[in-house]
Amino acid sequence: MMTEKRENWGSRFGFLMAAAGSAVGLGNIWRFPYLTGMNGGGAFIIIYLGCVALVGLCIMTAEFAVGRRSGLAAVGAYKSVSDRWSFAGALGVLSGFFIMGFYPVVGGWSLAYIAKSFTGLLAAPEAIGDAFGAFITNPVEPLVWMVIYLAINVVIVAKGIQSGIEAAGKVMMPLLYVILIAIIFRTVSLPGGGEGLKFLFTPDFSKVTGQTFLAALGQAFFSLSLGMGCMITYGSYLSKDEKLPQNALIVTTMDTSVALLAAVAIFPALFAFGVEPTAGPGLVFVVIPQVFAQMGGFGVIFSALFFLLLFIAALTSSVSLLEVVVAYLIDQQKMPRKKAVYITSAIMAVMCILASLSLGVMSGFTIFGVGFFDFFDILTDKIFLAIGGGLLAIFVGFFMKKEDLKDELTNGGTISFGAFEVWYNLTKYVIPLVIAWIAFAGITAIQQKSLMIFGLAVIAVFAIFSKKL
């Protein structure tokens, strides 16, 4: 069979927009502000920044190095060093697959809410909560939006790296910054908004517990798209003269800046309208439209812009998730790109239908004690990603040759990477221990014990059959 030539990114800017696009997603705009609200504001932000700088930056550098060294996506990259380790890559592919079992559902909601902003959503602020409940439990409407959302992903990923993912990132990421800054200008100037900024930037360490550290570290992983081979895959399309540590620093900074900007956009609005910052998961779809409804004339525009922002952020992340699976099928199964995209997304659509229906008509149907939506979410978010990240750190530290890593990170000795020893020792010794602690504490705190056992069993089966993957 003819195999397609493996593409590279067309430009450095294009790669950076695509990688930052992957990182910036629902994790930044929806999850980060709500976690900050629930964990003491400024104190959480300081701990989060520490986690990003210590763990996130090192793992991203490592993923780029592993990907570019092998020139292959997750499974192939591990396999090129040791057959035994291909299971860690396969676990990443499975994580990407499962995250795509619910991410497009929420992506579809964001699309729907762009439209709903113009069609009367804001007219009755007191009914916004009920309207959201009615929308997500409807058996048809969210499915239509999900299919539209997934179809947009299909079109982008089917076009390939340069004219698909890279082109989309180059347009959408700058647009995302523009919209975010426009919203900040509006919300920061609201009367009473200053209180929100004070909450964000005055740390209250009395609220900090061990759980706060766990939440911060877990969030750093999810937000930076680490622990499932996504940045390995994106790194595999990088040319040999790109400076990996510098690119990792830029992507990490962009992701963190969007999380901080999203918090700066949202908190003044919450405080100005007397909404509790601890409102939790309903924050984006219920509280934000309520806030904009009270804003008068321009509320509709700001609401539509906000959901456009959420849609763009989600889209550039979900294309990376789809690409992780597609790249595996291209590299390891020698499948043509388009075929890989169509097959993969068809299965994802079925999973998303189950996930969406599990919030409504199928709410009584559970597997391992949870509905399909939570099954895909908890399994990846709480079990697979942390373990995937820990495995990567161990693989890099103990199974790759130190001189190979140095060679890759210094482009064959042509550029300097002064912090190499610090990076190497952190990745090899400190990070596996930190992640082991999080994984242990996080997994044992999960209420759905049978789901946890299932997740660990999947990992064990993968490890046993690693040579076949």
The residue ranges that bind ligand PFF (CB under 6 A) are 22-23, 25-28, 96, 222-223, 225, 228, 230, 317, 320-321
In the bound complex, what is the minimum distance in angstroms from residue 407's beta carbon to ligand PFF?
Answer: 26
CB of 218 to ligand PFF, least distance (A): 11
DSSP β-bridge partners for residue 41: 203
Toward ligand PFF, which CB reaches closer, 231 or 469?
Answer: 231
Least distance to ligand PFF, CB of residue 165, Å: 12
Q: Pick the closer one to ligand PFF by CB: 272 or 313.
A: 313
Q: Nearest Cα to 217, choosing from 70, 59, 111? A: 59
Can you state the percent helix, strand and coil of the chain, rounding each to 5?
80, 0, 20
Smallest gap from Cβ 66 to ligand PFF, in A, equals 14
Q: Where are the alpha helices (DSSP H) in 278-414?
A: 287-293, 299-333, 337-357, 372-378, 385-394, 402-409
* Contact predicate 432/393, CB 8 Å: yes
- Reduce the DSSP state of residue 409 to 3 states and report it: helix
Closest CA to 367 of 384, 355, 352: 355
Q: Which residue, 40 or 229, is less far from ligand PFF as judged by CB?
A: 229
Nearest one of 24, 23, 31, 22 to 285, comparing CA atoms? 31
Measure Cα distances from 144 to 135, 141, 207, 356 in Å: 12, 5, 42, 11
User: Closest distance between ligand PFF and the C-beta of residue 288, in Å?
Assistant: 17
CB of 222 to ligand PFF, least distance (A): 5
Yes or no: say if 259 and 20 are a contact pair by the CB < 8 Å rule.
no
Spatial separation of the C-alpha atoms in residues 390 and 212, rounded to whole Å = 20
User: By C-beta, is 76 or 96 nearer to ligand PFF?
Assistant: 96
CA atoms within a 13 Å half-sphere pointing along the CA-CB vector of 224: 37
Closest approach, Cβ 346 to ligand PFF, in A, equals 20
User: Least CB distance from residue 307 to ligand PFF, whole Å?
Assistant: 15
Residue corresponding to tokens 């030539």 = 5
What distance, in Å, lies between the first and last C-alpha atoms of the chain?
Answer: 20
Of 225 and 344, CB closest to ligand PFF? 225
Task: Tell me 56's DSSP state.
Answer: I
Residue in 320, 372, 322 with CA at minimum distance from that of residue 344:
322
Q: Which is nearer to ligand PFF, 27 or 40 (CB)?
A: 27
Q: In terms of CB distance, is 305 or 321 closer to ligand PFF?
A: 321
Q: Which is nearer to ligand PFF, 36 or 223 (CB)?
A: 223
- Name the token pair of 134: 């009615």
